[in-house]
Amino acid sequence: MVKVNDNYLKLQGSYLFSNIAKKVNGYVEAHPEAKIVRLGIGDVTQPIAPEIINTLHEAVDEMGNADTFKGYAPDLGYEFLRNAISDYDYKKRGCSIDPDEIFVSDGAKCDCGNIQEIFSVENRIAVCDPVYPVYVDSNVMAGRAGDYDKSTEKYSSVIYMPCKEENGFMPEFPTEVPDLIYLCFPNNPTGAVMTKDKLQEWVDYANKNGSIILYDSAYEAFISEDNVPHSIFECEGARTCAIEFRSFSKTAGFTGLRLGYTVIPKDLVVDGVKLWDLWARRHGTKYNGAPYIIQKAGATIYTPEGRKQIEQQIAYYMENAKYIYNGLKEAGYSVSGGVNAPYIWLKTPDNMTSWEFFDYLLEKANVVGTPGSGFGPSGEHFFRLTAFGSRENTIEAVDRIKNL
Amino acid sequence: MVKVNDNYLKLQGSYLFSNIAKKVNGYVEAHPEAKIVRLGIGDVTQPIAPEIINTLHEAVDEMGNADTFKGYAPDLGYEFLRNAISDYDYKKRGCSIDPDEIFVSDGAKCDCGNIQEIFSVENRIAVCDPVYPVYVDSNVMAGRAGDYDKSTEKYSSVIYMPCKEENGFMPEFPTEVPDLIYLCFPNNPTGAVMTKDKLQEWVDYANKNGSIILYDSAYEAFISEDNVPHSIFECEGARTCAIEFRSFSKTAGFTGLRLGYTVIPKDLVVDGVKLWDLWARRHGTKYNGAPYIIQKAGATIYTPEGRKQIEQQIAYYMENAKYIYNGLKEAGYSVSGGVNAPYIWLKTPDNMTSWEFFDYLLEKANVVGTPGSGFGPSGEHFFRLTAFGSRENTIEAVDRIKNL
């Protein structure tokens, strides 16, 4: 008699962003006249840059011609893309990451969700609180999280590292030593960043304790300050304790094209087993590569013209971030993030819960944001806005919030 | 102290096709002058059909325009594609499968590999032997397969259903009742097919025993005979016991574009839990949709012109299949498959092992095929050739084999 994976039944509610979508759709159905501005899910709005569009057209033509047609992609991804990543994202920053240590995929979300598979279910994970839900939920599904306690809103086996106003939204070393430590900087949802010195302390901590850091740097392209590392591999010793995830989604507007990559150094060895080998095996068995045309598109961001265009796009979004940050500050909100990250993290007014503020903004201003509590209990009384709207919508949203 | 997932260490060798690639690359390096013909991995060679190329260009232009740009895809896939699938692949064949029961993905390999996650690790799986390695390996990784026994070449907890010459390469009901039954028809690697009556017996068996059939119909487009079902949902009662996987890879040459889908009927309930809900949750948490442009490309195969063009492509490959089948028969080989499937399954001559025959063909004829034993112990002394080469290469390969 077949049985389901009971761990799935321990998951709370549905995936945060599916939930928000349902709420918004419900509101829109009841108020078809409402002009909703969405600064919630963190999806981009600017079209794909012209240089990338050109590449896509060229690659499509290659697929239509017998002489240049491409079938299954190489297991790790095309060399032209891995070479460009290795050179531009790593070697240029002084990090020695070889093309062979880069696994191209259809996005950082998938990789962040799947990476836990190569580790023992007995491993303890630590996450920032608030946190991107995928890290926790994928571990719940695997049976690594324990049981959910409704009163604390926490899973019994997960080590939560509260990131609150009091500690500048920075995780502190937990009292119990975790086996796997999820870190995401620039942070989603708080927009906080770690300096290189601070991140070095985490690398040292992991090496000392035999822990692995799962480092999500999906937002590194938004870093504007010099002392903020773009990669964990800028820290000494990271090659023996860290895996890094990167995404083209926010860097180049690829949320609808799907491309990302994971870096696993070949020095990363646990009990004599190279994690690279395990991930390569997973990749080969359960995955079949990102489309050739998308990999070509991705490589275009490493050309001079492609780079110029995506930098303009990032600057555009960061102007939005500044506008939101300053506007909310003027309106009396307590705000952080938005300087090295496309996320603005604000404290809800009048001690409203995050979901109360969500409903309030949706109903009174027709603005959609993301409730901080959806990212974990320490996110309660906070709220995330993203800089990924159009300028017009961003200004409109901020003005509406100011006028509440 | 972090630990790895020990189950990964129980995997045997590397993924079959990665192994073959390494062997062939080694040979090519040593013999750069050799003109290798690859009828091994089952990758297609015909370019993407012109009508699909047109759609791709249009969709690329949409992505470059702010008004038509698409970000994250809907969780289950775009409606235009799910509607087309529901109508054409199901309703037209008398199967009531709603668009909401279709989950669009980046390929059947990923879905076949990931589906086991929603089931208990205590469930027993049954597989045909020989079998597509992904079904077994993904269960080994999850800890559902038990230990590998080198003498039998089997995992202790997997129920193997031998498909041999004696039984027409058809699985028989196992003595122990499995919880999850993987079936793939038209079969990879044997090219065998199940009649509708026979498949109905399996559906009845599953419903009677509380088992779930995981039905891989990636090759349904190659069916030429009337009594062979294209979908398990053509059988009565399948909605309460079956999940079906489909792929655009072989149907429309999408191995390098990546598109597939999984059908989970909403009536499929285990212990009061809808499997649809679990898969939706997995999809929402660990996956982020197939690219819009690829989904548009996929929908094109349901237009009259798109359909005509991919049918021509399939006819082309099936001509190859016929050529291989007849050629090998003339050369005295014992051959099956190739009538409703793009795979030809041949018995190795002179009692050679599958890998001996692989080396023999590679060295003496510079032809690459797939060793039957790579698909399971009952595949020993068999060998798979695919019809996916160009006509020229296919003829060349058959002629070379004939002349050995």
Is the confidence at residue A14, as pLDDT, over 70? no
User: Is B347 exposed, middle or buried, given 0-12, 13-18 or 19+ CB atoms closer than 10 A?
Assistant: middle
Contacts of A55 in chain B (CB under 8 A): none
Is the confidence at residue B14, as pLDDT, over 70? no
Residues 327-386 of B with CB under 8 A from A: none
Q: Which of B260, B281, B303 is the last residue of a domain?
A: B303
Residue A272 within a domain: yes
- Phi and psi at residue B215, to the nearest 5°: -105, 115
- The verdict on B298 and B386 lying in the same domain is no
Residue B5 within a domain: no
The CA distance from A172 to A217, in Å, is 19
Please, which residues bridge with residue B289 across strands? none
| Among candidates B137, B291, B390 on the partner chain, residue whose Cβ is nearest the Cβ of A257 | B291
- The verdict on A186 and A314 lying in the same domain is no
Contact (CB<8Å) A2/B210: yes
Q: Decide: helix, strand or coil at residue B63.
A: helix
Interface test with B, best of A19, A258, A276 (most B CBs within 10 A): A258
DSSP H helical ranges for A64-189: 79-85, 108-114, 133-142
Is the confidence at residue A17, as pLDDT, over 90? no
Residue A1 within a domain: no
A358 close to A284: Cβ distance less than 8 angstroms: no
Residue A333 pLDDT level (bands cut at 50, 70, 90): very high
Contact (CB<8Å) B291/A286: no
The CA distance from B267 to B126, in Å, is 23
Residues 139-158 of A with CB under 8 A from B: 141
Contacts of A75 in chain B (CB under 8 A): 18
Is the confidence at residue B294, as pLDDT, over 90? yes
| Among candidates B11, B118, B121 on the partner chain, residue whose Cβ is nearest the Cβ of A281 | B11
Residue B18 pLDDT level (bands cut at 50, 70, 90): confident
Residue A19 pLDDT level (bands cut at 50, 70, 90): confident
Q: Which of A273, A288, A304 is the last residue of a domain?
A: A304
Residue A134 within a domain: yes
pLDDT in tens, A172-205: 999 999 999 999 999 999 999 999 999 999 999 9
Q: How far away is chain B from the Cα of A298, in angstroms, using its nearest Cα?
A: 13
| Among candidates A45, A286, A289 on the partner chain, residue whose Cβ is nearest the Cβ of B113 | A286
Contacts of A179 in chain B (CB under 8 A): 1-3
Contact (CB<8Å) A47/B69: yes
- The verdict on A378 and A340 lying in the same domain is yes
Residues 257-286 of A with CB under 8 A from B: 257-258, 270-271, 273, 275, 278, 281-282, 284-286
Q: How many domains does chain B have?
A: 2
Is the confidence at residue B19, as pLDDT, over 90? no
Tokens 């197939």 map to which residue?
B290
- The verdict on B294 and B324 lying in the same domain is no
Residue A195: predicted pLDDT: 98
Q: Half-sphere exposure of A149 toward its Cβ, with a 13 Å CA cutoff? A: 9
- The verdict on B319 and B275 lying in the same domain is no
User: Within 10 Å of residue A250's Cβ, how many Cβ atoms?
Assistant: 27
Q: What is the CATH number of the domain that holds A10?
A: 3.90.1150.10
Residue A279 pLDDT level (bands cut at 50, 70, 90): very high
Residue A223: predicted pLDDT: 98
pLDDT in tens, A235-248: 999 999 999 999 99
Residue A245 within a domain: yes
DSSP for A174-230, please give it: -SSPPSEEEEESS-TTT-----HHHHHHHHHHHHHHT-EEEEE-TTGGG--STTS-S
DSSP for B320-375, please give it: HHHHHHHHHHHTT--EEE-SSSSEEEEEPGGG--HHHHHHHIIIII-EE-EEGGGG
The CA distance from A26 to A18, in Å, is 12
- The verdict on A277 and A364 lying in the same domain is no
B14 inside 8 A of chain A by CB = yes
User: Within 10 Å of residue B363's Cβ, how many Cβ atoms?
Assistant: 12
User: Is B282 exposed, middle or buried, given 0-12, 13-18 or 19+ CB atoms closer than 10 A?
Assistant: buried
Indicate the pTM of the whole model: 0.96
Residue B228 within a domain: yes
Q: What angle do CA B24, B28, B31 make, to 5 degrees?
A: 135
A18 inside 8 A of chain B by CB = yes
- The verdict on B252 and B127 lying in the same domain is yes
The CA distance from A6 to B351, in Å, is 48
Token pair belonging to A106: 């259809």
Q: β-strand A367-368 against A148-149: which pairing, if any?
A: unpaired
Q: Which of A25-29, B5-9, B37-41, B200-204 has the lowest mean pLDDT?
A: B37-41
- The verdict on B344 and B383 lying in the same domain is yes
Contacts of B70 in chain A (CB under 8 A): 256
Torsion of CA B283, B287, B288, B294, to 10 degrees: -90
User: Would you put residue A82 in left (φ > 0), alpha (ψ -120 to 50) or beta?
Assistant: alpha
Q: Which residue of A has its CA nearest to B125?
A: A2
- The verdict on A246 and A322 lying in the same domain is no
Q: How far away is chain A from the Cα of B402, in angstroms, using its nearest Cα?
A: 27
Residue A15: predicted pLDDT: 67
Going by C-alpha positions, the residue among A128, A117, A106 that lies closest to residue A186 is A128
pLDDT in tens, A76-89: 999 999 999 999 99
- The verdict on B197 and B346 lying in the same domain is no
Going by C-alpha positions, the residue among A82, A60, A22, A115 that lies closest to residue B291 is A60
Going by C-alpha positions, the residue among A366, A363, A330 that lies closest to residue A346 is A330
Domain that holds residue B395: 11-46+305-402
Contact (CB<8Å) A2/B123: yes
Is the confidence at residue B90, as pLDDT, over 80? yes
- The verdict on A100 and A144 lying in the same domain is yes
Q: Which residue of A has its CA nearest to B56?
A: A60
The CA distance from A189 to B88, in Å, is 42
Residue A41: predicted pLDDT: 75
pLDDT in tens, B126-176: 999 999 999 999 999 999 999 999 999 999 999 999 999 999 999 999 999
pLDDT in tens, A196-234: 999 999 999 999 999 999 999 999 999 999 999 999 999
The CA distance from B115 to B360, in Å, is 37
Q: What is the CATH number of the domain that holds A183?
A: 3.40.640.10
Residue A150: predicted pLDDT: 92
Q: What percent of chain B has pLDDT over 70?
A: 100
Q: Which helix (H) or strand (E) holds B182?
A: strand B180-184
Q: Which of B253, B274, B303 is the last residue of a domain?
A: B303
DSSP B212: E
Residues 34-73 of A with CB under 8 A from B: 41, 43-48, 50, 53, 56-57, 60-61, 63-66, 69-73
Residue B15 pLDDT level (bands cut at 50, 70, 90): low
Contact (CB<8Å) A41/B72: yes
- The verdict on A219 and A365 lying in the same domain is no
DSSP B135: H
B26 inside 8 A of chain A by CB = no
Residue A120 within a domain: yes
Q: Decide: helix, strand or coil at residue A262.
A: strand
Is the confidence at residue A266, as pLDDT, over 70? yes
Mean pLDDT for all residues in chain B: 96
Residue B154 within a domain: yes
Contacts of B92 (CB under 8 A, 6+ apart): none
Q: β-strand A370-371 against A382-386: which pairing, if any?
A: antiparallel
Contact (CB<8Å) B2/A117: no
B354 close to B373: Cβ distance less than 8 angstroms: yes
Contacts of B281 in chain A (CB under 8 A): 8, 11, 14-15
